[in-house]
Structure 1
């Protein structure tokens, strides 16, 4: 079965190293929580808010073992007024045997505010 696995993380600064590190951390936590391998991924879509332009977050994935052949596309998030700033969102399309209620969507840092309903039941980190 193919499932979408969501994740989001915020950074404090529009800084290349911070964006790349945050994207790598998020993808690693999504993978660990859902027990898939890069070969299970069909593709990944990464969006960033308009205030993040110092680096492509996809560069963070390239630091992880096995992600060199995963198709990844980066895009800009819709700039909705008063939305969460400095946020990286990821949608991974993954082959998995997990049921929808078993999928762990990962929200880290201030991104927990995006889906507090999932933060209550899933492995999320509100640091």
Structure 2
């Protein structure tokens, strides 16, 4: 079973740039959260979206190279593993023109029931949403 890789392209804009004239570190984190949410929203059924929400437990980011104004970036994300109530999602962000890796990250997510906000075991049907066969 191969994890489904979800991708998104971003152009670095002025609001992404910090005083050092490159993408601010927090912007990378926001992009990771955004692309994870887009992957979930794209694959989940309306019932899944009604019944469940994801909560971040931990982020880890390794910054390899900077990104600059106007550059095209490719963000990749996939679910690396699921165990109990937790799911580990991985990310890579590349400069699309040079194919150089800029950021490697991972997030530990917890699945919650939307109505109670209590952790719940990740159903197999949700695990299967993120696998390419």
TM above 0.5: no
Name the structure where strand makes up a greater proportion of residues. 2
More contact order relative to length (CA 8 Å, sep ≥ 6): 1
TM-score range, shorter chain: 0.3 to 0.5
Normalised TM-score (structure 1): 0.34
Normalised TM-score (structure 2): 0.33
